[in-house]
Structure 1
Amino acid sequence: MTSAEEAGEAAPVERDAEPETAASPQPAPRRIRLLLSIAAIVLALDVVTKVLAVKLLPPGQPVPIIGDTVTWTLVRNSGAAFSMATGYTWVLTLIATGVVVGIFWMGRRLVSPWWAVGLGMILGGAMGNLVDRFFRAPGPLRGHVVDFLSVGWWPVFNVADPSVVGGAILLVVLSIFGFDFDSVGRRHADGDSPGRRTAGDRHKDEGDSQDSAGE
């Protein structure tokens, strides 16, 4: 067989492979950029609003926004989101640090854009409160978080708190409905759906393409 005939037979294989490549999920770095962008927005809003709250609000004195239902109320919180688990500041700091590390680890295999949104919300909120834990009084790992917004009977909170909770709810909903962080498409009860592709599949396809090119 001549070289021209070999090239003619190889061409259809390459054309057949093109649709599969086009259908493959976008690279993880793009999802990481989405995750980090959302985290940066949440972190910036959280830090700026806390600085303004400390500068402008009298400690512990409600400033009405909508009557007595919604008020600005500056407090220092040693606990978790919405003033939960007070008295365990250093434990909460270590947990939040572990969450941040875990999100960055998951980011290496991240494919789903909605998971990127949810993880970005959690990451931004966790880092916002970690800034207070490390840099506010009474000291590193024990710093009290600045909360400033009060709504009805709900505990006083900041921008980071609803971001963390909202991101966590989004991830739970995605998991319930069969959307995994490392795949595109919905997971069926009997396994992967025909159109569902994971990050591992994408890497395998890339390796097969390289092997074919080498042959």
Structure 2
Amino acid sequence: MILLTTALAVIALVLDQVTKRIVVSNMYEGQAIDVFPPLLRWYFIRNSGAAFSMGESVTWIFTIIQAAVLVYVAIFLVRKIGSLPWALALGGLMGGVAGNLTDRLFRPPSFGHGHVVDFIALPNFAIFNVADMFIVCSMIGICLLLFTGREIDGSRAAHGKKTKNRTEAEPEAPGNE
């Protein structure tokens, strides 16, 4: 599972960086190109903040958070993966985070303060990139895995905490008070 998770992370990172390179090389900042009007257009911006450009003055905090998430998932969670859904979810998350972290580290204006290239625009929604798609889809997958009781090792979560000889989810038998 480690190999699959790593492979997906690398694929997500490469797709993200290649699409950003294409945009930066072929568009000027602020340019919009209709792809499937009115549903989809490319709209090249550089985002110094987080989602919806929030926190533009604290770019370095996002760099630290992204690096911490990437390190935590890579070191502590990947080795525990025992199921395909978790491998896909964590691989996509790592690749997406690595894509935006790469922008923060290596794009202008400076190391650790770089602006993320965003270019996918949907009507009445944020402008985002491939890394963001991987992050959002992965987080939805992780939430579904957690809500359905699927543990990272592939096992199913118990339906209640054990207390003595029964679970809290089981009603107490009559006469056993």
The answer (yes or no) to whether the contact 1:83–1:156 under 8 Å persists in 2 is no
Tell me, what secondary structure is at the counterpart of 1:76? strand
Aligned-pair CA distance for 1:35: 0.7
Number of equivalences: 161
- TM-score normalised by length of structure 1: 0.71
Aligned-pair CA distance for 1:61: 1.9
The answer (yes or no) to whether the contact 1:53–1:148 under 8 Å persists in 2 is yes
Trace 1:172-187 onto structure 2 (pairs within 5 A): 172-182=143-153, 184-187=154-157
Distance of 1:172 and 1:67 partners within structure 2: 32
2:48 aligned to which of 78, 95, 104: 78
1:69 aligned to which of 27, 39, 46: 39
Aligned-pair CA distance for 1:191: 6.0
CA shift in 2, pair 1:145/1:91, >3 Å: same
Aligned to 1:88: 58
2:122 aligned to which of 135, 146, 151: 151
Which range is displaced more, 156-165 or 83-92? 83-92
Aligned to 2:83: 112
Extract unaligned runs of 5+ from structure 1. Answer: 1-30, 193-215
Tell me, what secondary structure is at the counterpart of 2:128? coil
Trace 1:1-215 onto structure 2 (pairs within 5 A): 31-104=1-74, 105-182=76-153, 184-190=154-160
CA shift in 2, pair 1:84/1:160, >3 Å: farther
Tell me, what secondary structure is at the counterpart of 2:117? strand
Whichever of the two has the greater Rg, that structure is 1
Q: Deviations over 1:33-52 (max 9, x none)?
A: 11101111111100000000
| Structure richer in helix, relative to its length | 1
Aligned-pair CA distance for 1:85: 3.2
Distance of 2:31 and 2:13 partners within structure 1: 26
Q: Percent identity at matched positions?
A: 39
Amino acid at match of 1:173: L
Aligned-pair CA distance for 1:82: 4.8
Distance of 2:52 and 2:79 partners within structure 1: 31
Q: For the aligned residues, what is the CA RMSD?
A: 1.6
